[in-house]
Structure 1
Amino acid sequence: MIEQLTVHMLCAIYKKLGIEDSFDPDLVSSAIASNDLWVLDWAYDIKDEQSHNPHYVTAVVDTLDMYSFLRDSFEQLSPAEQAIVEAEVPHASSQVQFRGYDGNNELDHRRAARYLVNHLDRFETMKDEATTNSHSPVVEMYARMFEVFEPIRAQLVNRLMGPHEIVAVLKAAVHPSNR
């Protein structure tokens, strides 16, 4: 608690004096306040002995990577290939867009997405989508989709996903009891 207060006070002094170097006092203060110390490691390569990425950060990175591939791949398909995807997954063109995280139940995930996109310069093409509120829990759905995507991802060197790969990942969004 005392350490957090000290850091906040130093950030306030830093801002008041107008010091401009490699540290962003707003980011440091925000990360300390939300207890997202992993942000400091990502932003400034500050390694702490207890430093690790929380599980939700890894899940968010995996999810944003997956949706980047889904969106980019779908957009690069020919109209005939897009029709194949749409025939298998209705409204596929909207389903390849990242839906965000639930603002009531998935706050850690939502905050991590916001940090990654808005402050850490990751997944910059997803700026508009990353802070979206899904208005319903989606973490389990994203995990099912990623389970299908992960082996495909290993083969995506110098290429995007094909229509059948996109279909497989999108179909995993549906809970097994509803298939």
Structure 2
Amino acid sequence: MAPKMERFEMRIDEDLLARIDAWSGEQDDRPVRAEAVRRLIDLGLSAGSQRAVRFSDGEKMLILMMGDLYKHLKLKDGESDPGFLAKVIYGGHYWAPKWDMQGVFHDHVDDPEEVRHVVDVLDMWMFMEEAYASFSAADKKKLVAEVGPWADHVKFPGFDGNNEGDQLGIARFLIEDMGRFQKFKGRDLNSHHPTEERYRRMVRQFTPMRETLIGHGLSARQMVELLK
């Protein structure tokens, strides 16, 4: 049974109309405007769906060719399975990759603001740890006296794995996979307690200090201001 159709009117500016006509002209059957708009809406809704993946015709050909190469070279135990993806394409099972390959087909994207925050935090703690290592015993004793016991050993605690998982993941990727901030390489970086509010306050204080740290590190007084 054919789906019920409803008449729908809309106003489109000349530029968008020209783009629709251009797209229509690139299709093999050159659909009329109304049909072109309907198809474009369907494509847009499908592309925005979180329940299924979509491959362009070119991507489909590459996947199928990759499957042929795997067979020819008799490759096994690869991280991808072109044979599975070929079945997805032939059968139209575009929901399946998000079920079977969740590490690849997911909708998570790191927030650029979160990335900047993590970079600022790592940069700040690099300076703090380097400064603490250079302090005299008297400076370290003074730091504890003014800040408290937690300043007895200044070391980057990391981010909370339970409540700050995105930040923890970004930090680990920067350090372990991108080779940045190598002072923290090999550390667990799970603080096991929330840190965001404290770190944001510390970064606000550190930012103007950072501009003056040319040829020298943080002073004991600056460390007190950051840790209090």
TM-score normalized by the length of structure 2 = 0.53
For the pair shown, the structure with the greater C-alpha radius of gyration is 2
Is contact 1:117-1:126 (8 Å) kept?
yes
1:72 aligns with 2:130: yes
- 1:16-165 alignment runs, 5 A limit: 54-91=112-149, 92-94=151-153, 96-129=154-187, 131-165=188-222
- Runs of at least 5 residues in structure 1 that lack an aligned partner in the other structure: 18-28, 39-52, 172-179
Counterpart-to-counterpart distance in 1, 2:198 and 2:176: 24
Counterpart-to-counterpart distance in 2, 1:55 and 1:133: 20
CA 1:33/1:56 → structure 2, altered by over 3 Å: closer, same or farther?
farther
Counterpart-to-counterpart distance in 1, 2:106 and 2:160: 18
Report deviation, 1:99.
1.1
Question: What does residue 42 of structure 1 align with?
Answer: none
Question: What does residue 2 of structure 1 align with?
Answer: 54
Question: What does residue 170 of structure 1 align with?
Answer: 227
Counterpart-to-counterpart distance in 1, 2:165 and 2:124: 20
Is contact 1:31-1:37 (8 Å) kept?
no
Secondary structure at the counterpart of residue 184 of structure 2: helix
Question: What does residue 4 of structure 2 align with?
Answer: none
Counterpart-to-counterpart distance in 2, 1:30 and 1:118: 22
Report deviation, 1:33.
5.4
Bigger helix fraction: 1
Secondary structure at the counterpart of residue 2 of structure 1: coil
**Root-mean-square deviation (Å):** 2.9
Same amino acid, percent of matched pairs: 33
Q: What is the letter of the counterpart of residue 210 of structure 2?
A: R
Is contact 1:74-1:93 (8 Å) kept?
no
Secondary structure at the counterpart of residue 197 of structure 2: helix
Report deviation, 1:106.
1.0
Counterpart-to-counterpart distance in 1, 2:211 and 2:146: 24
Is contact 1:99-1:134 (8 Å) kept?
yes
Q: Which has the higher contact order (CA 8 A, sep 6+)?
A: 1
Q: What is the letter of the counterpart of residue 157 of structure 1?
A: I
* Stretch of structure 1 that moved more, 79-88 or 146-155: 79-88
CA 1:81/1:63 → structure 2, altered by over 3 Å: closer, same or farther?
same
Report deviation, 1:32.
5.2
- Runs of at least 5 residues in structure 2 that lack an aligned partner in the other structure: 1-52, 77-100
Count of residue pairs brought into register by the alignment: 138
